């Protein structure tokens, strides 16, 4: 069998911002015999996960589950609701927003792209302004990323909703929660989102391979008029089959076992506790970064992500060489800089199945790596995080 | 944790024609920690499976792996090579051919559908005739199903290739091998196939969740001109990333672990041995059906499937009630009749990770089920199969 | 990793009379991280299994769990209750009774061995007679095997109790239930047993590695006076630590996880249903043997085992060559003849995690093996079993 | 299924000095179907592990494997070589040495116990002196603990051997390596040890349930004359069956799968690298303890254990309350003080499947626990360890 960890001993620290460390309970659930996806036991499983997953999206509306990566859920959101040549408004929060834009372009959509510096959240006022200009309502959808995985910046979705409502604009609101769902408070219904896009491999603590669209009544209505070609991603056959717990084509049976277990774990911990845990770990991580004297990529203290922390490498030091050293010497995977941030930042994932001591080990790996790589920094990052985690020190302002 | 088998004791017999029984080795491989899909260990894994899977397709050309069901690979084959309004020639071998046709229609393609009775293989002569008529070469692709999972009929792909060549027609040849790959001899290169469509959950012995397109140089060339919108399914970014073992979006890491192990198992047994095993088990199953005095759905003795056997229920007896009884009393899942065959046939899967005694148990479940359900039949089916398997009895002509 | 099954495809049929096929649920439970055996979570687990296992023994008294094989539980029963030179009465039901006797001799005990022909159960009248002669009460214990795994003969423990009581003899009653517990109705309290000996790898559906002593108040009292040296097996420290769910030395943590799961499975099915299932499968197996025209080793129809069936090979045919052929051609392990039965019988295990179709596959393997090996027999064994299992045929008298 | 970790999220830190964190590879190896312990595949497995395990003991002599805890291997060492009333010389290195002494007493042996303060290693000179007095050679065995798990003190076995040889005394040398084997360099042959006692759940990285006796020719000769009653532990039947890879009674099949995998892992890393890793981690741990201003239990700098570090709690602070806080708040299990050290020390296990970042997380848990519990200490322990691990700081003298 392929040896998956070339390190001779100990557990790998998978501290990229997803895929995250999959709990043993979830892996073991997946490691069960595949069953008949048309049989009665599957139907019960299907109903349980289709219903259970709604709680994580905080919605009463249907959630569609695809056997695909999160990228597929981006595509599904668009092809189910839009027609060739439709205009969508997207916001450049970072690499993933840019990829979604590119995908939309390939599908034949016209994209209005609100430019950004990859260090700030979505500017709801700018959206409001753009929509106000669009008196003809040519813009059919506003697409934003809740938590930009490439930058560690979280946007205020309620504010985006308010901007759309303020402009009395009929555009659909679509939100990518790939790296926030199950980690950062997210409210599909309360925030009036029409399509929420998510994946299995982050806060849901599963291996990659499942993708999600949470819908709204307006999104479903749009699906009736949308004319982009679609079949695999079509919600309508999905929802028809889902009503009894089944799927129109063979689903990822074993990943659905894992989803069942992961949902149980989230329920056992409680979503508010899950969110508070992520927030606390993110604060500790930022205290460490501050202690090291390094710069956060995220510039808006109200928008620092609870799921990951992106750190700018000091001038003259490549992030990739640093990450390579950390992987080779300390057996930890850190997230790389993506797109225009390549080699300039590294990202620390602290989401999913995670706890205080794993965070301390993670931060220790960064701090030792900085030292071993000769990257200018002050020691004391782990110390600062520990003081906060042990309750001796209040969080820094941000 | 959800109890997946409501039977109190013993191992479930999953004898639908896929998903098949996943070997413990494969399940245990999947049950390993998820790794960084951008790290060096993943790259080595990626190269190994991308190269290794070619052997099963018997191709030197690239094979693309999607995180999706087999249905996705149908869609991928079409959107990568065709443009809106293109004509394709499809052949009605059964339910799955009909579904693929429906999918093509939804994508905006024009489908010439050669009708069939769901009991015979593809008629290569009819394809030749249709292509000969198409002197303008309006038909851009011929799409056939190698092994029609809904009927248990296997078609002669080399003959289809010869028909196209005989007509000197430039149409691409696309073949669905979802229920044949890894079970029935299939030769992508030798048979001149342009796109082969496959899935993980049958002869590859994996849970569902991976889908495949094996390509040809002509298919790749067609991808440059094709104008159907595509992004998730686009081969070009896939192939670019695959060159170093990576993927353009997050792949199904853990299912790829399973693929690595499944490929090792197929290599250890040897593909010729794998095909011979399936053929032998299919012969035994047909001997049992003949002994019971029941009728095979497949009418052409040269086209009986080595992967599954579809059996027609005697008049006045519903297949679904019979399957339900077998499931409840004997803890075995049999395949249902699909589409117009609903309630009229049941299907016995004998593909994938399988052996003589499991086949005997399977046939015993059918025979006891027939008896318990009061379905007219003669006993002796298991006996006939055993005599053949033990080498005492030569196979029936087909 | 060592490849454990040299057969290229399909699931091995482990049809020795133990170790038995371990359910996936149990294997997966064992496959969890080891925890601190002195921590609070372990205490809860310990209490749960120590209490839960009592139900399988049908006792209110304590059950001691050793990290050992069943052989260790034989030794533990003796060293906790007896003193050097003590006399014990044992009964030669077969190979395992003979091994227990040998073990007793090595520990320095004097053994009165009631001889037997390995084809009959314990003769309670002979015990009564021997005890009646022992007016000085020199015999300190009567040791019998409930289900003799080497022969497939089950003895009447209540009758043995009655014999002891009838003789008004104070000897302790010790019973080996290694291959009956969890498969055949067994009542530690009701039958007045003082020490019951059991192991994990048969009806309890676990891998080997745990052994059990169920106790009585008289056994505990005897432990205070017993003078055989003992430390590892000493019940007293065990019971003291068990009171809070712990053990005096490191227990087999992960096998205890498996025990927890196996007990849950037995509870879900219900012990009466478990016993009825074993009895039904044994009847089916004997019908097959009768149909083949082969001879059962067990001669007393009231004593045929519900857990296994031992079959005598026809004169001139070696059982071991037959078993080797079955293993190599049909990937099934059958039990060998032990001790003086070596090469003369083979044993079919039909206990533990088992169902109708696996039994049919098992019997098919025997029948095909007989044919392939040229062993004289009539076909029709599987057929006879199927008719019985499908409800068409009442059981033969025995 | 029992939830084994009451913490809602993240991986438990099992930092007791054994059982240790079992690698996923080993757990997954154990999680395979049980096979026939008398079949050919088992024989191959048996030979592989019986041969492979010798390398870890650094011996050419046989190693016996019992289904038992390490305590059983203590008993086995004594009952195979000694006779009732024999004298043995034992050394009070700590709690486990005291337990072994107690066990010897229960078996009817006379124990000369060289008293110790539980803070120093074995005093070879004292052994030499005692043996010199024993001109009649009444002492039949010298029994010492290589690495005293209760104290974190490692003794010099070569020096003990030299002491025996210097006294020209024929006593056997028996050594407990339960918490050193596979973690600390140990040389059965070179050091002239007659019986080495070991268990599976520490440096061998397995769950508990296997125990070992490595033998010498003299030990085997002694077994022929020894008169303590024995059966389960008897080496002779073991060795006879082991010659072909089998066992005289049912072995712990699935734990042997794990042993096979664990031996592969140790070979892959290399034993010298394994020992160096443990030594390095122990140095880092001691640097942390020194930085905290806490006192090591171990007083002899040449004898500090590489496998665990025992720390004395400051006066007025109970170790158990501290450990409870660490478990509840930080999800880490630390080792408790045993015997007379109860509540006075805590022990940090840093052995087995372990790496730098897990050590940092472990030390962070201790440091945050000290802070949260209000235990007087200086911060900076993790910092000191990190500096050492990152290579910036040479180790303190000891």
So what's the pLDDT on residue B397?
A: 42
Pairwise CB contact (< 8 Å): D68 & C71: no
The answer to whether residues C299 and C366 belong to one domain is yes
Residues of D whose CB is below 8 A from A11: 11, 21, 23-24, 353, 355, 358
Segments of chain C with pLDDT less than 50: 396-398
Say if residues B304 and B286 touch (Cβ distance below 8 Å): yes
So what's the pLDDT on residue C393?
A: 63
Final residue belonging to a domain, choices B267, B290, B322: B267
The pLDDT tens digits for C69-82 are: 999 999 999 999 99
Segments of chain B with pLDDT less than 50: 396-398
Tokens of A280: 């606390």
The answer to whether residues A58 and A138 belong to one domain is yes
Pairwise CB contact (< 8 Å): C357 & B361: yes
So what's the pLDDT on residue D398?
A: 42
B-C Cβ pairs (cutoff 8 Å, strict): 151
A-D Cβ pairs (cutoff 8 Å, strict): 151
The answer to whether residues C210 and C68 belong to one domain is yes
Confidence of residue D7 (pLDDT cuts 50, 70, 90): confident
Q: Give the separation between CA A64 and CA A49, rounded to whole angstroms.
A: 11
So what's the pLDDT on residue C7?
A: 79
The answer to whether residues A51 and A128 belong to one domain is yes
Q: What is the DSSP letter of D395?
A: P
Q: Give the separation between CA B306 and CA B350, rounded to whole angstroms.
A: 8
Pairwise CB contact (< 8 Å): A19 & B1: no
Tokens of C237: 């420290």
Extract the annotated binding site of B for substrate: 347
User: A77-114: b or e for each residue (b if 16 or more CB lie within 10 Å)?
Assistant: bbbbbbeeebbbbbbbbbbbbbbbbebbbebbbebbeb
Provide the strand spans (E) within B215-305. Answer: 295-296
Tokens of D149: 């798990």
So what's the pLDDT on residue C397?
A: 42
Is C347 within a domain? yes
Q: Which residue of D has its CA nearest to B1?
A: D1
Nearest to C33 among A1, A24, A32 (CB): A24
Count of other CB atoms within 10 angstroms of residue B338: 20
Nearest to C389 among B31, B355, B368 (CB): B368
Nearest to D361 among A3, A269, A358 (CB): A358
Nearest to B208 among A4, A20, A253 (CB): A253
Extract the annotated binding site of B: 347
The answer to whether residues B258 and B326 belong to one domain is no
So what's the pLDDT on residue C8?
A: 81
The answer to whether residues D309 and D385 belong to one domain is yes
The pLDDT tens digits for B351-391 are: 999 999 999 999 999 999 999 999 999 999 999 999 999 99
Is C2 within a domain? no
User: Is the pLDDT at D6 greater than 90, yes or no?
Assistant: no
Q: What is the DSSP letter of B228?
A: S
Is A8 within a domain? no
Secondary structure string (H, E, C) spanning chain C: CCCCCCCCCCCCEEECCCCCCCCHHHHHHHCCCCCCCCCHHHHHHHHHHHHHHHHHHCCCCCEEEEECCHHHHHHHHHHCCCCCCCEEEEECCCHHHHHHHHHHHHCCCEEEEECCCCCCCCCHHHHHHHHHHCCCCCEEEEEEECEECCCCEECCHHHHHHHHHHCCCCCEEEEECCCCCCCCCCCCCCCCCCEEEEECCCCCCCCCCEEEEECCHHHHHHHHHCCCCCCCCCHHHHHHHHCCCCCCCCCCHHHHHHHHHHHHHHHHHCHHHHHHHHHHHHHHHHHHHHHHCCEECCCCHHHECCCEEEEECCCCCCHHHHHHHHHHHHCEEEEECCHHHCCCEEEEECCCCCCHHHHHHHHHHHHHHHHHCCCCCCCCHHHHHHHHHCCCCCCCCC
Pairwise CB contact (< 8 Å): A365 & D367: no
Decide: pTM greater than 0.95: yes
The pLDDT tens digits for B238-249 are: 999 999 999 999
Residues of D whose CB is below 8 A from B28: 28, 31-32
The answer to whether residues B182 and B39 belong to one domain is yes
Pairwise CB contact (< 8 Å): A33 & B21: yes
The pLDDT tens digits for D56-109 are: 999 999 999 999 999 999 999 999 999 999 999 999 999 999 999 999 999 999
Nearest to A254 among B35, B207, B336 (CB): B207
Is C340 within a domain? yes
The answer to whether residues C229 and C278 belong to one domain is no
So what's the pLDDT on residue A8?
A: 81
- Report the residue of D10, D24, D277 to disrupt the A interface, i.e. the one with the largest count of A CBs within 10 Å: D10
3-state secondary structure of A14: strand
Final residue belonging to a domain, choices D221, D250, D267: D267
Pairwise CB contact (< 8 Å): D11 & A353: yes
Domain of A29, CATH number, reads 3.40.640.10
Closest CA of chain A from C21, distance in Å: 15
The chains in contact with chain A, meaning 3 or more Cβ pairs closer than 8 Å, are B, C, D
Nearest to B106 among A19, A229, A261 (CB): A229
Cα–Cα distances (Å) from C302 to B98, C9, C286, C296, D274, in that order, read 60, 40, 13, 13, 60
The answer to whether residues B147 and B236 belong to one domain is yes
Pairwise CB contact (< 8 Å): C355 & B9: yes
Nearest to C269 among B9, B361, B391 (CB): B9
Is B2 within a domain? no
C347 annotated as ligand-binding? yes
Q: Give the residue numbers spanning the domain of A76.
A: 24-267
The answer to whether residues D240 and D329 belong to one domain is no
Number of domains in chain A: 2
Pairwise CB contact (< 8 Å): C382 & B364: yes
Pairwise CB contact (< 8 Å): C67 & D69: yes
Find the chain B residues whose C-beta atoms sit closer than 8 A to any C-beta of D: 1, 24, 28, 31-33
Tokens of C354: 């088992």
The answer to whether residues A187 and A281 belong to one domain is no
User: Is the pLDDT at D397 greater than 60, yes or no?
Assistant: no
Q: Give the separation between CA C94 and CA B385, rounded to whole angstroms.
A: 37
Pairwise CB contact (< 8 Å): C333 & D252: no
The pLDDT tens digits for A107-145 are: 999 999 999 999 999 999 999 999 999 999 999 999 999
ipTM (interface pTM):
0.97
Residues of A whose CB is below 8 A from D372: 390-391
Is A396 within a domain? no
Final residue belonging to a domain, choices B267, B283, B313: B267
The answer to whether residues D274 and D174 belong to one domain is no
Is A4 within a domain? no
Confidence of residue D396 (pLDDT cuts 50, 70, 90): very low
Closest CA of chain D from B32, distance in Å: 7
Q: Which residue of C has its CA nearest to B3?
A: C25
B-D Cβ pairs (cutoff 8 Å, strict): 11
So what's the pLDDT on residue B2?
A: 61
Domain of C358, CATH number, reads 3.90.1150.10
The pLDDT tens digits for D296-328 are: 999 999 999 999 999 999 999 999 999 999 999
Q: Give the separation between CA A278 and CA A300, rounded to whole angstroms.
A: 18
Q: Which residue of D has its CA nearest to C209?
A: D252
So what's the pLDDT on residue D3?
A: 64
Q: Per-residue confidence of chain A (398 residues) as pLDDT tens digits?
A: 566 666 889 999 999 999 999 999 999 999 999 999 999 999 999 999 999 999 999 999 999 999 999 999 999 999 999 999 999 999 999 999 999 999 999 999 999 999 999 999 999 999 999 999 999 999 999 999 999 999 999 999 999 999 999 999 999 999 999 999 999 999 999 999 999 999 999 999 999 999 999 999 999 999 999 999 999 999 999 999 999 999 999 999 999 999 999 999 999 999 999 999 999 999 999 999 999 999 999 999 999 999 999 999 999 999 999 999 999 999 999 999 999 999 999 999 999 999 999 999 999 999 999 999 999 999 999 999 999 999 966 554 44
Find the chain C residues whose C-beta atoms sit closer than 8 A to any C-beta of A: 1, 24, 28, 31-33
The pLDDT tens digits for D165-199 are: 999 999 999 999 999 999 999 999 999 999 999 99
Pairwise CB contact (< 8 Å): A231 & B336: no
Distance of CA C38 to the CA centre of its chain: 31
Is C108 within a domain? yes
């Amino acid at each position: 069998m392929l040896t998956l960890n070339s390190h001779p001993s100990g557990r790998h620290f998978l501290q990229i911002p997803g895929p995250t460390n999959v709990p043993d309970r979830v892996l073991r659930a997946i490691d069960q015999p595949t069953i008949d996806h048309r049989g009665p036991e599957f139907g019960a499983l299907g109903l349980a996960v289709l219903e259970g997953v709604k709680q994580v999206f905080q919605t009463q509306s249907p959630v569609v589950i695809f056997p695909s990566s999160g990228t597929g859920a981006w595509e599904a959101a668009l092809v189910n609701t839009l027609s060739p040549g439709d205009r969508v408004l997207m916001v450049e929060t970072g690499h993933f927003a840019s990829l979604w834009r590119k995908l939309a372009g390939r599908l034949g959509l016209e994209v209005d792209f609100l430019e950004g510096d990859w260090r700030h959240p979505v500017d709801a006022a700018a959206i409001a302004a753009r929509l106000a200009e669009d008196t003809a309502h040519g813009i059919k959808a506003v697409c934003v990323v809740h938590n930009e995985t490439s930058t560690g910046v979280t946007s205020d979705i309620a504010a985006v909703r308010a901007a759309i409502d303020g402009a009395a604009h009929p555009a659909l609101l679509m939100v990518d929660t790939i790296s926030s769902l199950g980690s950062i408070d997210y409210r599909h219904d309360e925030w009036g989102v029409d399509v929420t896009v998510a994946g299995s491999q982050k806060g849901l603590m599963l291996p990659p391979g499942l993708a999600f669209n949470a819908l709204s009544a307006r999104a479903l209505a749009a699906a009736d008029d949308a004319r982009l070609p679609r079949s695999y991603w079509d919600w309508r056959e999905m929802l028809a089959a889902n009503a009894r717990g089944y799927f129109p084509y063979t689903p990822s049976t074993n990943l659905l076992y894992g989803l069942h277990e992961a949902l149980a774990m989230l329920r056992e911990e409680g979503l508010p506790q899950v969110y508070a845990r992520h927030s606390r770990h993110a604060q500790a991580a930022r205290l460490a970064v501050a202690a090291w004297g390094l710069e956060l990529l995220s510039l808006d203290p109200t928008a620092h992500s609870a799921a990951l922390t992106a750190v700018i490498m000091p001038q003259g030091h490549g992030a990739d060489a640093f990450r390579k050293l950390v992987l080779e010497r300390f057996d930890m995977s850190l997230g790389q800089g993506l797109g225009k941030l390549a080699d300039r930042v590294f990202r620390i994932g602290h989401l999913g199945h995670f706890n205080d001591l794993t965070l301390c080990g993670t931060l220790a790996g960064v701090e030792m790596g900085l030292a071993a790589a000769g990257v200018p920094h002050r020691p004391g990052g782990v110390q600062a995080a520990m003081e906060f985690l042990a309750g001796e020190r209040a969080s820094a302002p941000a």
